[in-house]
Amino acid sequence: MHMRIILLTASLLFFPTLLFSQVQTITIEDAIDIALENNYQLKQAENNLTLSRVQERSAIADFFPNLSASASRGRNIGRQFDNTTGEFGDFTINSFGAGLSSGLTIFNGFSNINSLRAAQHETLSREEQLQRVRENIIFNTASRYLQYLLSQQLLEIAEETLQTSEQQLEQVRAQVEVGARPTVDLLNQESIVAGNELQVVNRRNDLNFSRLQLVRTLQIDPLGDYEFITPEIDQSSAVVRDYDLQQMVETALESRSDLKSELQGIEAALYNLKSTRANYYPTLTLSGSFRTSYNDRNPSSYRDQLTDQNINRNIGLSLNIPIFNRLNTRTAVQAQEIQYKNAQLSLENTRLNVIQEVNQAYNDYVAIVQELESSEKAFVAAERAFETEQQRYEVGASTLIELSQANNAFVEAQSNRIQTLYNFFFQEKLLDYYIGRLDTNIQF
């Protein structure tokens, strides 16, 4: 019985620790979904889109007539004129009144129409901005994830190199002890091991930094325990595509969300300019009202006064012709014209940037494809050279310095090969990003 109580108590003490120490596994797809869910810039872009839709509904509502109700109650005491008897006197009048009024803009220089069109184009612009923010998040997340995987691979290479050098150190030590190798070989090998240990420390530091960068991009708890899953990435995964630069530029100019947003922004600026120019034109307004009242000096009943005797109806047209308003309209029009010109300049600048980005990304992709083939050849050659040099060293036909040089060349070729492979996937996604066809389905 006592043993059961002890076991139960121990399980209750250790259960929260086990619960909170669970490792969260994250794939590249999970990382993108998490980033899209947590990113503050995306949430701000969504809020801006919501605001544009609210403003668009407000512009639609400007076509409707307004309607307002009013009511008043008062008491007049002292000498005054009595409307019911037509006499002056000292008395007290209690009164009550209520009414409805409405107004409808018939013409205002097409300001409402242009304001609505401006709001509609602004909404479309914000939609494209939101899409570009999503693409930015996807690309940044994929880039950080790739960098983390690369740092992980480089650390593994450094650890394997250290392990190989430590094994070689034991062999050299044994050979020195029996007099087969000079003592200087042992000292040199110890120096090599120390250098490899430092390289492992540096690579592990790079991995930790890459992890922090990735966690920050995902905007998750930096103190959490995460396992980022490594997809199957090898040389066979690098499928070289035959791109056509001119076609990619045309696709980018048609597909890029930021360019589409600029185009919609120009339309919005144009209609805002037209709406502002409408202030030069007259405004014609239709208005109507209905009012009834009651006062206690009238001998008629409360109901008769409110429903029959004191009813007032009014309908009218109001024409307002602007003549001079201290140049306010002219100043506003000039400001809108400048904004419209700036929107056009911004579009042209974005267009040139798109062409330049696609061109540069294409050139980088062509270069990395060539590097991919060269790095593979260099890796195979360095691996064979190291194996040959190791065999020569074992039979005493080579020195430790020559073996060390061959090993360094092999490690460098191995690192260059894995870096080139990851850079290839990075440049491939960069092309998709600059063309404007990057989505959440990231495949390596």
Q: Are strands 283-295 and 87-107 parallel, antiparallel or unpaired?
A: antiparallel
3-state secondary structure of 383: helix
DSSP codes, 222-269: TTS-EEEPPP---GGG-------HHHHHHHHHHH-HHHHHHHHHHHHH
Same domain, residue pair 249 and 298: no
Same domain, residue pair 156 and 302: no
The pLDDT tens digits for 90-142 are 777 787 889 999 999 999 999 999 999 999 999 999 999 999 999 999 999 99
Same domain, residue pair 40 and 146: yes
What residue numbers bound the domain in which 311 lies?
69-105+286-321
Amino acid symbol at 115: S
* Residue 81: φ, ψ to 5°: -95, 130
Same domain, residue pair 383 and 426: yes
Q: Which of 321, 342, 373 is the last residue of a domain?
A: 321
**151, burial (CB in 10 Å: exposed 0-12, middle 13-18, buried 19+):** buried
**Closest alpha carbon to 441 in 5, 17, 36:** 36
Match 């597909």 to its residue by tokens.
255
What is the reported pLDDT for 301? 75
Q: C-alpha 345: how far from its chain's center?
A: 24
Residues of the chain under the 70 pLDDT cut: 1-21, 82-86, 234-237, 297, 299, 440, 442-444
What is the reported pLDDT for 85? 67
Same domain, residue pair 223 and 248: yes
Question: What is the rounded CA–CA span in Å between residue 228 and residue 144?
Answer: 11
Same domain, residue pair 153 and 78: no
* Paired tokens of 73: 């109650």
Measured in residues, the chain has a length of 444
**C-beta separation of 368 from 294 below 8 A:** no
**C-beta separation of 92 from 61 below 8 A:** no
Same domain, residue pair 233 and 295: no
Same domain, residue pair 234 and 292: no
Question: What is the rounded CA–CA span in Å between residue 212 and residue 227?
Answer: 13
3-state secondary structure of 102: strand
**C-beta separation of 236 from 303 below 8 A:** no
Q: Which of 296, 321, 346 is the last residue of a domain?
A: 321
**C-beta separation of 203 from 155 below 8 A:** yes
What is the reported pLDDT for 10? 47
Q: Is residue 442 part of a domain?
A: no
Question: What is the rounded CA–CA span in Å between residue 157 and residue 314?
Answer: 90
**276, burial (CB in 10 Å: exposed 0-12, middle 13-18, buried 19+):** buried
Question: What is the rounded CA–CA span in Å between residue 93 and residue 297?
Answer: 6
Amino acid symbol at 155: L
Same domain, residue pair 82 and 217: no
**C-beta separation of 68 from 101 below 8 A:** yes
Same domain, residue pair 227 and 254: yes
Q: What H or E segment, with its residue span, contains residue 204?
A: helix 183-218
Q: Are strands 226-228 and 24-26 parallel, antiparallel or unpaired?
A: parallel
**Closest alpha carbon to 126 in 63, 21, 54:** 54
Q: Are strands 283-295 and 312-320 parallel, antiparallel or unpaired?
A: antiparallel
Same domain, residue pair 275 and 303: no
Same domain, residue pair 173 and 158: yes
Domain count, the chain: 2
List, in sequence order, every residue forming a beta bridge with 293; answer none if it has no partner.
Answer: 97
Q: Is residue 11 part of a domain?
A: no
Contacts (Cβ under 8 Å, ≥6 apart) of 382: 406, 409, 410, 412, 413, 414
The proportion of the chain whose per-residue pLDDT surpasses 70, expressed as a percent, equals 91
The pLDDT tens digits for 358-375 are 999 999 999 999 999 999
What is the reported pLDDT for 377? 93
* Paired tokens of 244: 């056509």
